[in-house]
Amino acid sequence: MSVSRRYFFFGTLLAGAVPRGGFGSTPSLKALGFKSFNDKLNVAAIGLGGQGGVDLNDAAKTENIVALCDVDFNRGAANLKRYEKPPKYKDFRVMLDKEKSIDAVTIGIPDFMHATVALACMQRGKHVYCEKPLTRTPWEARLLMTAAAKYKVATQMGNQGFSHECNRVAAEIVWSGAIGDVTEAHISTTPGTHPTGLQQLPSEEPVPDGLDWDLWLGGAAPRPFSSYYVPYNWRGFLDFGTGQIGNWATHTAGPVQTALQLGAPTSLECVTSQGKSSITYPDGAIVRLDFPARGEMPAVKVFYHDGPRAADPDAYHVPGMENETILPPTNNLTDKGRPMGRGAAPTGTTPGGGRGAGRGGAGRGAGAPGGPAQRTGAGGPGVRVFGEPGGPSKPGILTGNGAVFIGTKGIMATSSRGEGVHLLPASRWKDYVLPPQLLTRSPGHMLDWVRACKGGERSCSDFSISAPYAEWLALTAIALHVPGKLEWDSRNQRFTNSPEANRFVKPVFRKGWELKL
């Protein structure tokens, strides 16, 4: 199947995978003083528990770990013990000033401090790997994009699905014209484990030994400590996190962002919500975002489903899809990239790793639904596309982590971070042959960044790519707690019709923590 030029060569190209001037046109970062491929990076880690610890250990597979930092030595205890030799710090500013050998930094901390720490690292010439979501507010996302260009460092947001094979396969399918023009898309996340719908703040408690609460708060306004905030519940609070948008929509929206090349929306509106709160994100909601035409791609409306509890049973119904399922991630494609028939067993692939190490995901995409091997793949029972069995006659939502593209010639769905991709109805996979492989493939999300740090192509989630994406996700978070249709002026970074919404575009920093380029 050929790929129409209009679906591929339009405006900015995918995720830096194809340089604007063509292959080989990316300027050598090594010429700007970056390390040789033969040398190991000296990496510092800021945030040692949870996902921050995962990033640290991932970087340690190939690079040198030279310094560690966490405001909570209890949270980071396992990795503090695992890496005994590197110096340990609680204040990232002290570490950056003292440790002159640092080349690059991984950042895995609460959302509200991402921009503060990342900017400080870039201003000192350090390459930055910052966990998703890139920032809590749209203003911070734009700031980091500008800073990365100014300080000429390699950057990466930790939305690992951008490196997955299927994220790129999904884009190639859309660009091939297999489902026609996409004018509507749906993104869904399951309910999180963080608090939602709270009506009062938690009670004050003594600060535990090992935690520097003032440093944890950083630029946020002072407040009494409560164990309810840490180590994870902060994600549900408006002052600290981005709810399920930062937790999972950053992943599930990835294939939509990549395939549709979304820029800034012109408007957004929370069309339904449950359990609203002025302290945390709601229990569930649906937000509509309207994006203008991009090149020859038509305008598209994108619906974000924040947990299936706030569904309108009569909304967004697509006839014929009631019994369709986005299956969990599988690796059931042959080496030639052709989907297997029903009942065929996967060959030559291993879950999550592709063929051998470093492929960054399934071998050549996700495969054909329907066979026994696919039904037992990793990732759970799958995501119902438009409702659960026995539900309303016109179910209207996704019921798990995934996305659905509705085109003029068909429907495509992706699951989880994009590890699975399927044409719907499932029968379309029977004789379907994937389009040509046009996009470069990733060696793995961390290695993709390491390569950029050493003079290779810019990473697939470089801030020049991920910041505009993070910006519209942060706008979606604002819509969850500001009512009405919000008109967005991207050039001036302001809502033209809502002073209330404009209060949330940029954080209010406490004295001494303000951000400046």
Collect all residues with Cβ–Cβ distance below 8 Å to 57 and sequence separation of at least 6: 79
Q: Is the pLDDT of residue 361 over 80?
A: no
Q: How confident is the model at residue 242 (pLDDT cuts 50, 70, 90)?
A: very high
Q: How far is CA 148 from CA 5, 101, 162, in A?
A: 31, 20, 19
Q: Between 400 and 293, whose confidence is greater?
A: 293
Collect all residues with Cβ–Cβ distance below 8 Å to 43 and sequence separation of at least 6: 59, 60, 63, 64, 65, 66, 102, 103, 104, 105, 106
* Token representation of residue 147: 């800073």
Q: State the pairing for strand pair 486-489/300-306.
A: unpaired
Average predicted confidence (pLDDT) for the chain: 81
Q: Is the pLDDT of residue 412 over 80?
A: yes
Q: In angstroms, how far apart are the furthest CA atoms of the chain?
A: 64
Q: What is the pLDDT of residue 353?
A: 28
Q: What is the pLDDT of residue 418?
A: 76
From its phi and psi, is residue 447 left (phi > 0), alpha (psi between -120 and 50) or beta? alpha
Percent of the chain with pLDDT over 90: 66
Closest C-alpha among 476, 360, 516, 468 to residue 134: 468
* Mean pLDDT, range 378-394, rounded to an integer: 37
Q: Is the pLDDT of residue 59 over 50?
A: yes
CA 363 – CA 346 distance, rounded (Å): 10
Percent of the chain as helix, strand, coil, to the nearest 5:
25, 20, 55
Q: What is the pLDDT of residue 339?
A: 33
DSSP secondary structure of 119-148: HHHHHTT-EEEEESSS-SSHHHHHHHHHHH
Q: How far is CA 262 from CA 19, 51, 354, 466, 473, in A?
A: 18, 27, 28, 11, 11
Q: Which of 200-214, 299-313, 338-352 has the lowest mean pLDDT?
A: 338-352
Could you tell me the pTM of the whole model?
0.83
pLDDT tens track for 304-324: 988 755 444 444 455 566 566
Q: How confident is the model at residue 224 (pLDDT cuts 50, 70, 90)?
A: very high
CA 357 – CA 172 distance, rounded (Å): 24
Q: State the pairing for strand pair 127-131/267-274.
A: unpaired
Q: What is the pLDDT of residue 424?
A: 81
pLDDT tens track for 496-506: 999 999 999 99
Q: What is the pLDDT of residue 431?
A: 84
pLDDT tens track for 13-37: 443 433 333 333 334 444 445 667 7
Q: How confident is the model at residue 176 (pLDDT cuts 50, 70, 90)?
A: very high
Q: Between 321 and 96, whose confidence is greater?
A: 96
* Token representation of residue 169: 């396969």
Length reported for the chain:
517
Q: Between 317 and 370, whose confidence is greater?
A: 317
pLDDT tens track for 61-85: 999 999 999 999 999 999 999 999 9
Q: What is the pLDDT of residue 426?
A: 76
Q: How confident is the model at residue 133 (pLDDT cuts 50, 70, 90)?
A: very high
Q: What is the pLDDT of residue 180?
A: 97
pLDDT tens track for 138-171: 999 999 999 999 999 999 999 999 999 989 999 9
Q: Is the pLDDT of residue 7 over 50?
A: no
Q: How confident is the model at residue 415 (pLDDT cuts 50, 70, 90)?
A: confident
Q: Is the pLDDT of residue 448 over 60?
A: yes
Q: Is the pLDDT of residue 252 over 60?
A: yes
CA 444 – CA 158 distance, rounded (Å): 11
Q: What is the pLDDT of residue 402?
A: 85
Q: Is the pLDDT of residue 260 over 70?
A: yes
> Bridge partners of 272?
286
Q: How confident is the model at residue 399 (pLDDT cuts 50, 70, 90)?
A: low
Closest C-alpha among 386, 376, 420 to residue 188: 386
